[in-house]
Amino acid sequence: MTPDSDTPDAMHDATNDPVRGQPHRIVERDGVRYTLLGTAHVSQASIDAVHAAIDSGGYDAVAVELDAGRLQSLADPAALAQLDIVKVLRDGKAHLFAANLALAAYQRRLAEQLGVEPGAELKAAVQEARARNLPFHLIDREVGLTFRRAMQKLGWWGRAKTGAGILLAMVGDEEIGEDDIEKLKGGDVLESSFGEFAAHSPALYESVIAERDRYMAANLRDLAGSGAREVLAVVGAGHLPGLARHLAEDTLAPQAVRSELEVVEEKKSFPWFTLGLTVFVIGGFAWGFWQGGLDVGSDLIVQWVLATGLLGALGCAIAGGHPLSILAAFVASPLTPLHPALASGTISALVEATLRKPTYADFMALRDDVQTVKGWWRNGVARVLLNFFLTSLGTAIGVWTGGLRMLGRLFG
C-alpha cells in the first residue's frame, strides 16, 4: 500500500503512461490502483493533461478535488441567482456567504490576470468523464465546513483579520502577487485564497490543507466498494504528498474520518463577556433607579437607547437601508448585547432583504458589482450584506459609547 515514488525515473518510465511528464503518485490499495494526477490550478498544461489522461481509456472512474458547491459554481455561474438571501441571514450564514463572494472575486481577478480560470482543469475532468460515461466522484470537503473549521482554530485577532480581508478581497482589483500565483502553480486555490484573508498559521494550514488530504483520501478509499479498479484522481499538486500518504497508510474507517473532519465544535467556554455586559447594563439601570430615583434611572435608559440605537441606525443608513430597516436597526441595537438572537445586523438585514428582495439581475451582476465601491450600494444582494456589516459595526461602537457614558453618570 506504499505510494510509488514521484522521482522522474519512477514516474515516467512507461512510454504509454497517460500522465507522463506531469507530477503524480500511484497508490495501490484494496484491489484499486489510484493514479493521483497533480495539477496547477492556473495552467493550460494541466487542462491538457487531464484531457489526455481520461481520453487514454485507462481508467474506469474519475475523482476530482471539488465539492458539490464548487462544481456548481464552476459549471453554472448563474446558480447563484437561485440563492435565498433571506434564508442565508436567518441561518446565520452571512459571514460564510461573504467568504464565498470573496473567493469568487479572487478567482475572477486571477482569470482576468492570467487568462485561465482557476479550477478549469477540475471542471474539464468532470466534463470529460461525463462525455465518456465514466462515473465521477467529488471527493473534497464542502468549502463552508473548511472555512468554519479554519475560523474555529484562529484566535480572535486572526478572525478579525480574516473578516477585514474578506471585505478587501471582494472590492480589491489589484493584481494577484507572485507568491500567491506560485502557490496556485503548486496547486491549491483555497490555500492561496485563505492566504489573503489571514496570516499563515499552523492552525490555518491544518484546516485548509492537511485535513482535506485526510478527507479526500477517505473518500477515495470508499471507492473500493464501487467496483472501480483504475481510478484517476485529479487534485492540486500541493496535495500529492499528503494525499498519497493517507491513502496508503490510514486505517480508520472512511466514515469515521469524515465524521471527525466535518464536526464544527460549539464554543464550550461560558459567555462571560455577554453575561458581564448584560449584568452591567441591567445593573446600571437598577443602580440608577435605586440611587438617583426615577429621573436618573430613566435618563440612563434613554442615553443607552440613543447611543446604541442611533449608531446602529446610522450604520444601516450609510448602507443605504430602507427607512423600515433603519427603524429595525434602531429598535434592535439597544437589545443586541442582551441576546445573540437579537443581533441588530441580522434583524435589519432581514428587513432589508424582505422589503427589497434582491432580483435575479442583482445576483447575476453581483460578482462585477462588488468589485467597485458604488456597486455595493447599487446591487441589492451586496446592499443587504453591507447593511448587516455596517449595522453591526454601528451597534458595537454604540455599546462601548453607551457603556462609557453610563459609567461616567454612575461614578461621575
pLDDT for position 10: 37
| Per-residue confidence band for 127, with pLDDT thresholds at 50, 70 and 90 | very high
- Is residue 183 pLDDT above 70, yes or no? no
pLDDT in tens, 239-251: 889 999 999 999 9
Question: Could you say which DSSP state residue 65 is in?
Answer: S
In a domain, 244, yes or no: yes
pLDDT for position 5: 44
CA proximity to 106, closest of 212, 184, 38, 158 = 184
Distance CA 9, CA 12 (A): 6
Among residues 262, 285, 313, which one ends one of the domains?
Answer: 262
pLDDT for position 17: 65
CA proximity to 56, closest of 255, 312, 232 = 232
pLDDT for position 263: 87
More confident residue, 347 or 79: 347
**Strand order from edge to edge, sheet including 136-138:** 24-29, 32-39, 230-236, 61-64, 136-138
Q: Are residues 237 and 200 in the same domain?
A: yes
In a domain, 324, yes or no: yes
> What mean pLDDT is predicted for residues 73-83?
68
Q: Are residues 311 and 248 in the same domain?
A: no
In a domain, 267, yes or no: no
- Is residue 15 pLDDT above 60, yes or no? no
Among residues 228, 262, 296, which one ends one of the domains?
Answer: 262
Q: Are residues 61 and 87 in the same domain?
A: yes
Q: Are residues 214 and 278 in the same domain?
A: no
In a domain, 112, yes or no: yes
> What mean pLDDT is predicted for residues 68-80?
74
In a domain, 382, yes or no: yes
Q: Are residues 293 and 238 in the same domain?
A: no
Is 382:375 a contact under the CB 8 Å cutoff? yes
- Is residue 218 pLDDT above 60, yes or no? yes
> What mean pLDDT is predicted for residues 224-228?
87
400 Cβ neighbours under 8 A, 6+ residues apart: none
Which cell numbers hold the place of 252? 480508520
Beta bridge partners of 38: 235
Distance CA 346, CA 350 (A): 6
Distance CA 394, CA 388 (A): 10
pLDDT in tens, 358-382: 887 887 787 778 778 888 899 998 8
Residue with cell 485529479: 234
Distance CA 332, CA 313 (A): 9
In a domain, 84, yes or no: yes
More confident residue, 281 or 356: 356
pLDDT for position 189: 56
Distance CA 114, CA 15 (A): 32
Q: Are residues 194 and 290 in the same domain?
A: no
Q: Are residues 237 and 349 in the same domain?
A: no
| Per-residue confidence band for 158, with pLDDT thresholds at 50, 70 and 90 | low
Q: Are residues 178 and 283 in the same domain?
A: no
- Is residue 177 pLDDT above 60, yes or no? no
- Cα dist from 297 to 72, 287, 293, 305, 407, whole Å: 56, 8, 6, 13, 13
> What mean pLDDT is predicted for residues 166-174?
57
CA proximity to 366, closest of 85, 92, 122 = 85
Q: Name the strand (E) or helix (H) holding 33.
A: strand 32-39
In a domain, 2, yes or no: no
**Displacement of CA 231 from its chain's centroid (Å):** 29
- Cα dist from 334 to 78, 230, 307, 312, 407, whole Å: 39, 62, 8, 9, 16
Among residues 262, 288, 311, which one ends one of the domains?
Answer: 262
Burial of 144 (0-12, 13-18, 19+ CB in 10 A): middle
More confident residue, 320 or 103: 320
Distance CA 189, CA 205 (A): 13
Q: Are residues 110 and 13 in the same domain?
A: yes
Q: Are residues 30 and 122 in the same domain?
A: yes
More confident residue, 299 or 15: 299
| Per-residue confidence band for 3, with pLDDT thresholds at 50, 70 and 90 | low
- Into how many domains does the chain fold? 2
| Per-residue confidence band for 9, with pLDDT thresholds at 50, 70 and 90 | very low
Most confident of 143-152, 213-222, 331-340, 374-383: 213-222
| Per-residue confidence band for 43, with pLDDT thresholds at 50, 70 and 90 | confident
Q: Are residues 208 and 357 in the same domain?
A: no
Lowest mean pLDDT among 115-129, 184-198, 228-242, 259-273: 184-198
More confident residue, 209 or 311: 311
> What mean pLDDT is predicted for residues 79-98?
71
In a domain, 1, yes or no: no
- Is residue 113 pLDDT above 90, yes or no? no
> What mean pLDDT is predicted for residues 180-190?
55
Domain that residue 245 falls in: 8-262
Q: Are residues 204 and 311 in the same domain?
A: no
